[in-house]
Amino acid sequence: MAFPYWWLAVLAHGLLVVFVAVAVGDTLLEVAEERPGGDATHDKAPDRDAFSHAAPNLDPAKQLNFAVGNGFFKRLWVSAPASTSAADGLGPLFNARACQRCHIRDGRGHPPLEPGTQSESMLFRLSIPAEDEAQQDRLDSGRETSIPDPVYGTQLQGFSVAGIEAEGRVEISHESIVRELAGDDRVELASPRYALRDLAHGDPHPALRISPRVAPQMIGLGLLEAVDEASILALADPDDTDGDGISGRPNRVHSAELDRLAIGRFGHKATVATLNEQNQLALHVDIGLSSPLRSEPWGDCSAAQVACRNAPHGGSPQYDNLEAHDQVVDLLLLYTRHLAVPARRNPRDPDVIAGRALFRQVGCAGCHQPDLVTGDAPGHTENARQHIWPYTDLLLHDMGEDLADHADDGQASGREWRTAPLWGIGLTGAVAGHTRFLHDGRARSLEEAILWHGGEAATAREGYAALTAAERAQLVRFVESL
Ligand code: HEC
Ligand code: HEC
């Protein structure tokens, strides 16, 4: 028998494969993963401004427009009519006078931090079940994701211009829920209950549902917008065919901008398809300004709120009778598409590396998809073809009863939420001055956020709870390094 030379070939090939795998593993960890936003990552100080930098890959002209867009994001709108006619039109009902009041230093908002106080950066969506065929049709077509309260509209506004009454406020009380951890440790979670108070127009609809939400952080949103729908759908597993207990599915909504049914990406229930639509929704509902896609000047005043609808508004003929005209929304779009993602801190720390493995081992990565590749990004090609590390699949997941708001929104049920992106999350305290997490800011630490996970994420939570205290600390260190 001749010497089996083919063995040498197999051996060499095997070595080659091992070598490449290690090299690729290394490359991913050391090059791509440390710069989660790809070319839109910044290396500036991890301080209070860490979420406010322009992506370094913007050309100088766009950097200038980014700065002007930032001005609009921070602008304090005033009520009409005002001498500064370009900045009037606030309200009549509003939640805050500027985007930045809620997206604190481009970071997230929070619930009241002291008992008995109100928080501007948290808001409450209002909805009722469809009551007739016309309403059901609007939901089925995806043109509306919820049916507003007939009087109070889609959101409770706690502020109003002079002469118009604010709608009311929300009182928050807490019950405690205990979670047991390995090693006889236990954590007490504060479960919030929400009740409407001081309502200006009497009782709301008897079937009213309240969905509490804090403003999310603003980094890397243009990159998330640039991910192809096919890449998101590839992660969906609505019938859990792989049997891992995780069955992510997209929200589908009608996009006025794309003029078709599209995958929702923005908002805690992924109810908005494009950044431009999300920005104009915010102008309209949160601040009370008209814009090209939402031209009514009265914001969220319902037909039943007659005085509110008749109040003066800030549109002027030279701006198409809009309060926030084309140029304003274009600059806001540029701004919100190009807020850079901070580089990782301490990614090579041994505890962080160990936590990285634990994150995958207990199943966090089943929803918090570590990396994605962006598509062509027409109109913002700086965000095109980037290898990004957002730790989200942009899909909806049933997160269990404890986190449920019982308010469906588009195709999202009352128990479903969009996987929150985790990039930058370790800088929340430095940027926004607090460490409150989840859609309503109920979690007071990253560990509490993990322990609130239920539903499809119950197995991952139990996996976390079963780790030793040292391992839990490593996993949290990893999340802090993102
Ligand atoms: C009163 C507080 C408040 C104000 C003011 C506000 N936002 Fe928001 N913003 C929120 C909340 C809450 C959400 C989450 C909405 C949801 O879950 O549907 C959000 C979501 C967003 C998102 C989507 C983020 C993501 O990760 O999905 C964008 C973009 C955004 N806002 C832009 C703006 C812009 C631009 C302005 C100013 C024109 C603005 N916001 C004003 C509270 C606010
Ligand atoms: C079944 C899907 C799923 C799994 C598995 C999962 N998560 Fe989440 N995660 C979510 C969703 C959805 C949210 C948003 C929930 C909300 O806002 O109420 C979230 C929110 C978070 C947040 C808060 C983010 C923020 O911006 O406030 C953290 C931190 C987090 N997850 C970490 C983890 C870790 C660590 C694990 C593993 C132990 C894990 N998650 C497993 C789906 C999942």
For residue range 53-78, what is the model confidence (pLDDT) as tens digits?
A: 999 999 999 999 999 999 999 999 99
Ligand nearest to the CA of 423: 2
Closest protein CA for atom 41 of ligand 2: 364
User: Tokens 């701004």, residue?
Assistant: 335
- The pLDDT, as a whole number, for residue 88 is 86
Number of folded domains in the chain?
1
- The pLDDT, as a whole number, for residue 84 is 64
| Domain assignment present for 22 | no
- The pLDDT, as a whole number, for residue 10 is 40
Task: Examine the pLDDT at 320 and tell me if it is beyond 60.
Answer: yes
Question: What are the tokens at 295?
Answer: 């031209």
Ligand 1 atom with the smallest distance to the CA of 94 is: 1
- The CA–CA distances, whole Å, from 338 to 68, 73, 229, 344 equal 13, 13, 20, 18
Ranges of beta strands (E only) in 198-259 are 209-214, 252-255
CA atoms within 13 A on the CB side of 114: 1
Name the pLDDT band for 28 (thresholds 50, 70, 90): very low
Name the pLDDT band for 448 (thresholds 50, 70, 90): very high
Average pLDDT, whole number, for the chain? 93
User: pLDDT tens digits for 104-140?
Assistant: 999 999 999 988 888 999 999 999 999 999 999 999 9
Ligand nearest to the CA of 482: 2
Task: Examine the pLDDT at 397 and tell me if it is beyond 50.
Answer: yes
CA of 65 to the centre of ligand 2 (A): 34
Task: Examine the pLDDT at 255 and tell me if it is beyond 90.
Answer: yes
Residues framing ligand 2 (Cβ under 6 A): 246, 268, 359, 362-364, 366-368, 397, 399, 403, 417, 419-420, 422, 425, 437-439, 446, 449-450, 453, 456-457, 460, 464, 479
| Domain assignment present for 9 | no
- The pLDDT, as a whole number, for residue 418 is 98
User: pLDDT tens digits for 321-356?
Assistant: 999 999 999 999 999 999 999 999 999 999 999 999
| Domain assignment present for 174 | yes
Task: Examine the pLDDT at 156 and tell me if it is beyond 50.
Answer: yes
| Domain assignment present for 16 | no
Name the pLDDT band for 316 (thresholds 50, 70, 90): confident
Q: Which residue has the higher pLDDT, 64 or 85?
A: 64
* Distance of alpha carbon 299 from alpha carbon 280, whole angstroms: 11
CA of 88 to the centre of ligand 1 (A): 20
* Distance of alpha carbon 458 from alpha carbon 466, whole angstroms: 12
Check if the beta carbon of residue 344 is closer than 8 Å to that of residue 477.
Answer: no
Question: What are the tokens at 108?
Answer: 């997230």
Residues spanned by the domain of 142: 38-480
Task: Examine the pLDDT at 364 and tell me if it is beyond 60.
Answer: yes
Ligand nearest to the CA of 364: 2
Q: Given ligand 1 and candidates 97, 102, 125, 419, which is best to mutate, with the most ligand atoms within 8 Å of its CB?
A: 102
- The pLDDT, as a whole number, for residue 29 is 61
Q: Given ligand 1 and candidates 68, 99, 409, which is best to mutate, with the most ligand atoms within 8 Å of its CB?
A: 99
* Distance of alpha carbon 166 from alpha carbon 372, whole angstroms: 43
Closest protein CA for atom 18 of ligand 1: 267
Sign of the torsion angle spanned by Cα atoms 142, 271, 301, 315: negative
Q: Which residue has the higher pLDDT, 87 or 374?
A: 374
| Domain assignment present for 408 | yes
Question: Rounded to two decimals, what is the model's pTM?
Answer: 0.94
- Using DSSP's 3-state secondary structure scheme, residue 450 falls into helix
Ligand 1 atom with the smallest distance to the CA of 324 is: 38
The secondary structure of residue 111, as a DSSP letter, is S
Closest protein CA for atom 30 of ligand 2: 450
Check if the beta carbon of residue 460 is closer than 8 Å to that of residue 232.
Answer: no
User: pLDDT tens digits for 277-303?
Assistant: 999 999 999 999 999 999 999 999 999
Residues framing ligand 1 (Cβ under 6 A): 73, 95-96, 99, 101-103, 121, 123, 213-216, 221, 266-268, 271, 275, 278-279, 282-283, 286-287, 332, 336
Ligand nearest to the CA of 460: 2
User: pLDDT tens digits for 45-57?
Assistant: 999 999 999 999 9
| Domain assignment present for 325 | yes
- The pLDDT, as a whole number, for residue 86 is 73
Q: Given ligand 2 and candidates 453, 464, 472, which is best to mutate, with the most ligand atoms within 8 Å of its CB?
A: 453
- The pLDDT, as a whole number, for residue 30 is 53
Ligand 2 atom with the smallest distance to the CA of 452 is: 18
Q: How many CB atoms lie within 10 A of CB 403?
A: 21
Sign of the torsion angle spanned by Cα atoms 190, 179, 404, 260: positive
- The pLDDT, as a whole number, for residue 82 is 76
CA of 131 to the centre of ligand 1 (A): 28
Question: What are the tokens at 331?
Answer: 């600059």
- The pLDDT, as a whole number, for residue 361 is 97
Closest protein CA for atom 9 of ligand 2: 419
